[in-house]
Structure formats: structure tokens, C-alpha cells
């Protein structure tokens, strides 16, 4: 049994306490360990992704206890891709945090950052719903700390909202788990899939309630309208590198929906049929519309980016709610794109903040390094608004292409295309006010003394943008890979067989013994 699959969880889990205990007062040593840890994570994640790329499903039974009683970790194509995406994003976010000095503005940034990574990795790799809850909590606890990192009244107030909203979400998650357990007597995903399929059509009330509760929980994490209230304030007030890392957290919700609803409640299951087409798809369309209208209406750059994240999650959710292999493949392509684009825009808004007193979208004196920052913002905005030539455009085409067979096809096309136009207007307005009109305001002594962003910050943003470009250039290969990923998700038999039939302590007696 290969032990590599648990390494993305164990490595940050060991590194974080080490950083707290041994390197508490030395920001330099913390930085070295944190970056080294993330580099090691990328290597491990790339290895796991390579291992899973030929369709292999790797199972890890903790303490060799067999499923469904033991805790299992499962790495398939989807999990490993998300793990790799998280690790790569984490590297650039970390570089930015170091370059801009954000990590030095409060205590324990690096330790919390590692704990956050541990939670995210665990949520992607676990094969058990209760452990999904536990890893959600781990990543949330760390994110509470990161969210209020560096303090300040506005941040603390936004932090209270964020924590309270997530606490309600966690409570709802436990209610969902309780009802699932009461109905089926198991929480292992593969085991659940088998048992849910056996429930007689007359007795589906409980499992339907459980499915809806679970969808609500994941929709809160994914910030789907009407459960998106927590996102704009929290992401706008969080420190920029933290907000950039949070770009992956909404995707944890999307990942959980894809995983649970392809495995446990597949589209052909009668009990939960209609849940997606009837409820999730309209909600996703509204999310996209509200997000992009928010982009146009935002008065501050950080809010603008936060609303564009809601919009892009709406796009991902539309594609997921179609619930076809093409839809899921398009959603996965778009997930990678919107994670990178969201993170880039949050980091750029911090570059802008470095040279200004605030982030209001009003004409103010030119910031230091304005041409470069403006250029980066231009690229980021093109990516997020979905204009050619970047991957947002391709992702949008894939989503539109996947929507041909849907009943709501006309609505999807209308909302996607008109919201693109609105977001282009919103980004164009923000960009022209921030970067062009600034030349009409003469600099004052106060503003000319503001610092220039560090070179490392530009390296981090540039790195993320080059990833976006690579995501565009290799779109064919990436989409081909997400298509095989969707195919694997819609044929879960090997996954179930791997989880349930692998021998371990307390496993089912094999047939030879009878």
C-alpha cells in the first residue's frame, strides 16, 4: 500500500505545529519552511496526479481498517487534480504574502496557512462523509484565523459574519449527516452509494430530505445564491493573499457536490431526480446574474472581485447542474480557470491598494508601477469576464456547448451571454477609473510617499497569469483530461469496488471462506 496519498494531509499537519513551536519569532525561518513545505506538496501532488492519470484509483485505509467502518482516503483523477491545483495556488499565494509582507502583519500566518492546506487536501481526498465534515471544520478553523489576520475593526466585523455563517453551515451539515445515517446506517461514500440505490421507491422521503440538506450545505460553501451573503464582505475584508487562497474554498463546495451527487445520488436515481434541473440550475443562473451585476455595481475594487467570484461560481454551478458528462467536464475546466482568475484578481487588487489610501473606484493619483499593474489587471479582467483569447472564454464556450440538451438552454445562453457583457462593462469601468482617470489627478505629498509593491509580488501575480495562459494554450489537453475525469465519475463501479472490496481489519468475509 502506497503511503503517498496521505502525505498531502500529514505534511502540512506536521509542519504547522513545527512552525508555531520552533520558529515562532523568526519570520525568515517560517517563510523558508512554509515555502519548502508547499514545494514538497506540489511534488507529491504532481506524483499523485500522474499516478491517477491512467485511471488508477488509489485507496488508503487508515490503520488498515477496512471500509465501511474504517476511515479511507481515495485518490482518483478528480481528487488528485484538485490537490495539485490547491498546492500550485498555495505556492503563488505564499510568494505574494511574503513579497508584500502580509505574513508579518499578524502572528501565525504560516502555521494557519499550513493548517488551511491540510483541511483542503483532506476534504479532497477523503472517501467518507463524516471526515468530509471534519476536514471542512479544519479548513474553516484555519480560515477564521487567516480571515482576521492583521486585525482591524472592519475585518473583525466581517470575520464575525463569516464565522457565524459557517457555524450555521456546519450545524446544517451535521443535521444532513444525521439524517443520512438514520436512513442508511453508514457514512462511507461508496457504501452509501450501494445502500441508497437499494432503498425502495416508497420510502424515499428521508433520503430526499438528506440529499437536499447536503446540497444546501455544499451550496453555502460554494456561495450559490441565495446562500452567498457571507462571501462579499468576508472576501473583500480578508487580507488579499488569504482571499486569493479562499478562491479554492468555494471550489471545495463545488467539488463536494460533484463527488457526492455523481456517486451517492447519481442522475438516474429516482428519489433525487429533478433536484438539479429544477432547483440548482435556476439558482446557478441567478448566481451568475447577481455576481456580474455586483461587478457592475461595486464601489470598491475588492468587492468587485468578490462579486466576480460569485459570478464565476454561478458559471461552474450551471455546468454542474446540467449533470451530464460534458457538463461536468466543462465545469472542471472552468473550476481550474476561475480559481486562478479569482486569485489573480484578489492579488492585483492588493497591488492597487499598496499605492492608494483605499480601494474605492474613484480617480486618485497614479499609483507606483501603474502601467504594469494596469496591464496585469487588464489580463485578469479579460480572463474573469470570459473574453477571448483566455481560458474564461473557452470555459464559457464549453459550458454553452454542454447546455444544448437542457430544457433551459435558451435561459442559459441568455444569462451567460448577457452577464458576460455586464461583467465586461463592470471591469472596463473599474479599470478605466482606476488606471486612466488617475492621470487627471495630480499627486499629493501624501500619496507620492506610498510604497512601491515588491518585485516578488509581481512574480507571484505573473506566475498565476502564466498558469492561466498555459491553461488556455493547453485547453485541448486539459479538456480531454477533464472529460476522462467526468467519465470516471459517471462510472463509479471501480471506485466502489476498490473501497468496499479491499481487505483489511474487520472487512467483509471473502467468498472463499464460505
Partner 1 sequence: MEMLVASAIGIMTAGGIYLTLRLRTFPVIMGISLLTYAVNVFLFASGRLTIGAPPILRDGVDVYTDPLPQALVLTAIVISFGMTAVVVMIGLGAYLGSDDDHVDDQPVDIDGETEGNS
148 touches partner 1 (CB under 8 A): yes
Binding mask 194-233 for partner 1 (x = CB under 8 A): ---------------------------------------x
Minimum Å gap between C-beta 178 and partner 1 is 4
Residue 63's region, left for phi above 0, alpha for psi from -120 to 50, else beta, is left
Dist CA 354 CA 13 (whole Å):
33
Q: Closest CB to partner 1 among 43 and 171?
A: 171
Nearest residue to 288 (alpha-carbon basis) of 245, 224, 349, 244: 224
**Cβ neighbours of residue 490 under 8 Å, at least 6 residues apart?**
262, 266, 325, 328
137 touches partner 1 (CB under 8 A): yes
Minimum Å gap between C-beta 367 and partner 1 is 21
Residue 414 CA, distance from chain mean position = 26
Minimum Å gap between C-beta 68 and partner 1 is 10
376 grid coordinates = 496585469
Choose, by CB under 8 A, the member of 27, 32, 35, 141 that binds partner 1. Answer: 141
Q: Closest CB to partner 1 among 137 and 501?
A: 137
Stretch that binds partner 1, among 88-96, 160-168, 322-330, 405-413 (CB under 8 A): 160-168
Binding residues for partner 1, rule CB under 8 A, total 29
Length of the chain as a residue count: 514
305 touches partner 1 (CB under 8 A): no
Count how many Cα atoms sit within 13 Å of the Cα of residue 429 in the half-sphere of its side chain: 19
Residue 185 CA, distance from chain mean position = 30
304 grid coordinates = 468587485
Nearest residue to 384 (alpha-carbon basis) of 308, 333, 474: 308
Stretch that binds partner 1, among 12-20, 53-61, 161-169, 449-457 (CB under 8 A): 161-169
Stretch that binds partner 1, among 112-120, 145-153, 216-224, 379-387 (CB under 8 A): 145-153
Dist CA 342 CA 381 (whole Å):
10
160 touches partner 1 (CB under 8 A): yes
Q: Closest CB to partner 1 among 95 and 210?
A: 210
Minimum Å gap between C-beta 92 and partner 1 is 28
Minimum Å gap between C-beta 288 and partner 1 is 24
Q: Closest CB to partner 1 among 26 and 157?
A: 157
**Cβ neighbours of residue 323 under 8 Å, at least 6 residues apart?**
261, 267, 276, 277
294 touches partner 1 (CB under 8 A): no
Dist CA 119 CA 121 (whole Å):
6
Minimum Å gap between C-beta 112 and partner 1 is 12
**Cβ neighbours of residue 312 under 8 Å, at least 6 residues apart?**
291, 334, 338, 341, 342, 384
Minimum Å gap between C-beta 137 and partner 1 is 5
In Å, what is the CA distance from 285 to each residue of 226, 317, 418?
Answer: 11, 8, 11
Choose, by CB under 8 A, the member of 4, 18, 65, 144 that binds partner 1. Answer: 144
159 touches partner 1 (CB under 8 A): yes
The radius of gyration computed from the CA coordinates of the chain, to the nearest angstrom, equals 22
Minimum Å gap between C-beta 63 and partner 1 is 15
Dihedral angle over CA of 323, 178, 500, 271, nearest 10: -40
Residue 211 CA, distance from chain mean position = 21
Q: Closest CB to partner 1 among 161 and 324?
A: 161
Stretch that binds partner 1, among 34-42, 88-96, 147-155, 287-295 (CB under 8 A): 147-155
Stretch that binds partner 1, among 88-96, 143-151, 262-270, 433-441 (CB under 8 A): 143-151
For the chain, the straight-line distance linking the first and the last C-alpha, in angstroms and rounded, comes to 27
Dist CA 261 CA 489 (whole Å):
10
Neighbours of 270 (CB within 10 A): 10
Q: Rounded to the nearest 5 degrees, what angle is found at the Cα of 487, between the Cα atoms of 259 and 219?
A: 25
Q: Closest CB to partner 1 among 73 and 320?
A: 73
Nearest residue to 118 (alpha-carbon basis) of 8, 280, 42: 8
Q: Closest CB to partner 1 among 29 and 134?
A: 134
Q: Closest CB to partner 1 among 358 and 405?
A: 358
Burial 70-80 (b: 16+ CB within 10 A, else e): bbbbbbbbbbb
Q: Closest CB to partner 1 among 65 and 378?
A: 65
137 grid coordinates = 471544520
Binding mask 232-251 for partner 1 (x = CB under 8 A): -x------------------
Minimum Å gap between C-beta 17 and partner 1 is 16
Q: Closest CB to partner 1 among 189 and 335?
A: 189
Helix ranges (DSSP H) in 278-369? 281-297, 301-322, 325-354
Site for partner 1 in 163-192 (CB under 8 A): 163-164, 167-168, 170-171, 174-175, 177-179, 181-182, 185
Nearest residue to 488 (alpha-carbon basis) of 68, 42, 74: 74
Stretch that binds partner 1, among 81-89, 159-167, 363-371, 419-427 (CB under 8 A): 159-167
Point out which residues bind partner 1 (CB under 8 A). 130, 134, 137, 141, 144, 148, 151-153, 156-157, 159-161, 163-164, 167-168, 170-171, 174-175, 177-179, 181-182, 185, 233
Amino acid at each position: 500500500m502506497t503511503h503517498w496519498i496521505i502525505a498531502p494531509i500529514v505534511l502540512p499537519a506536521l509542519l504547522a505545529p513545527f512552525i508555531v513551536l520552533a520558529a515562532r519569532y523568526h519570520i525568515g525561518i517560517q517563510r523558508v519552511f512554509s515555502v519548502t513545505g508547499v514545494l514538497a506538496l506540489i511534488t507529491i501532488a504532481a506524483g499523485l496526479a500522474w499516478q491517477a492519470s491512467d485511471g488508477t484509483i488509489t485507496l488508503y485505509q487508515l490503520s488498515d481498517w477496512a471500509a465501511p467502518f474504517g476511515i479511507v482516503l481515495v485518490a482518483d483523477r478528480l481528487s488528485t487534480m484538485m490537490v495539485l491545483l490547491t498546492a500550485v495556488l498555495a505556492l503563488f499565494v505564499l510568494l505574494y504574502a511574503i513579497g508584500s509582507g502580509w505574513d508579518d502583519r499578524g502572528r501565525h500566518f504560516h502555521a494557519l496557512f499550513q493548517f488551511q492546506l491540510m483541511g483542503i487536501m483532506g476534504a479532497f481526498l477523503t472517501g467518507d462523509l463524516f471526515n468530509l465534515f471534519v476536514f471542512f471544520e479544519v479548513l474553516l478553523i484555519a480560515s477564521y484565523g487567516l480571515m482576521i489576520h492583521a486585525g482591524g475593526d472592519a475585518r473583525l466585523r466581517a470575520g464575525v459574519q463569516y464565522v457565524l455563517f459557517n457555524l450555521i453551515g456546519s450545524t446544517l451539515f451535521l443535521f444532513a449527516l444525521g439524517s443520512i445515517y438514520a436512513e442508511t446506517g453508514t457514512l462511507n461514500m461508496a457504501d452509501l452509494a450501494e445502500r441508497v440505490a437499494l432503498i425502495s421507491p416508497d420510502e424515499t422521503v428521508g433520503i430526499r430530505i438528506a440529499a437536499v440538506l447536503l446540497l444546501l450545505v455544499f451550496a453555502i460553501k460554494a456561495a450559490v445564491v441565495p446562500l452567498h451573503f457571507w462571501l462579499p464582505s468576508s472576501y473583500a475584508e480578508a487580507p488579499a493573499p488569504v482571499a486569493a487562497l479562499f478562491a479554492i474554498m468555494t471550489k471545495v463546495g463545488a467539488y463536494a457536490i460533484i463527488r457526492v451527487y455523481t456517486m451517492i445520488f447519481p442522475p438516474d436515481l429516482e428519489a433525487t431526480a429533478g433536484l438539479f434541473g429544477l432547483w440548482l440550475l435556476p439558482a446557478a443562473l441567478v448566481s451568475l446574474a447577481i455576481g456580474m451585476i455586483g461587478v457592475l455595481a461595486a464601489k470598491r475594487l475588492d468587492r468587485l472581485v468578490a462579486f466576480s467570484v460569485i459570478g464565476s461560481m454561478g458559471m461552474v454551478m450551471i455546468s454542474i447542474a446540467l449533470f451530464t458528462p460534458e457538463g461536468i467536464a466543462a465545469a472542471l475546466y472552468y473550476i481550474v480557470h476561475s480559481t486562478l482568475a479569482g486569485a489573480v484578481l484578489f492579488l492585483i487588487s492588493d497591488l492597487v491598494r499598496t499605492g492608494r489610501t483605499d480601494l474605492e473606484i474613484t480617480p486618485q493619483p497614479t499609483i507606483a508601477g501603474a502601467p504594469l499593474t494596469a496591464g496585469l489587471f487588464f489580463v485578469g479582467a479579460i480572463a474573469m469576464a470570459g473574453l477571448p483569447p483566455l481560458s474564461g472564454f473557452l470555459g464559457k464556450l464549453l459550458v454553452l456547448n454542454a447546455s444544448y440538451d437542457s430544457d433551459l438552454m435558451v435561459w442559459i445562453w441568455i444569462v451567460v451571454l448577457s452577464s458576460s457583457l455586464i461583467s465586461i462593462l463592470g471591469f472596463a469601468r473599474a479599470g478605466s477609473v482606476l488606471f486612466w482617470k488617475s492621470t487627471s489627478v495630480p499627486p499629493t505629498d501624501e500619496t507620492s510617499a506610498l510604497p512601491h509593491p515588491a518585485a516578488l509580488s509581481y512574480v507571484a501575480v505573473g506566475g498565476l497569469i502564466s498558469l492561466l495562459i498555459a491553461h488556455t494554450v493547453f485547453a485541448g489537453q486539459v479538456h480531454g483530461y477533464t472529460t476522462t475525469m467526468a467519465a470516471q465519475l459517471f462510472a463509479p463501479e471501480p471506485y466502489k469496488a476498490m473501497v468496499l472490496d479491499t481487505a483489511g481489519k474487520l472487512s467483509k468475509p471473502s467468498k472463499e471462506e464460505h
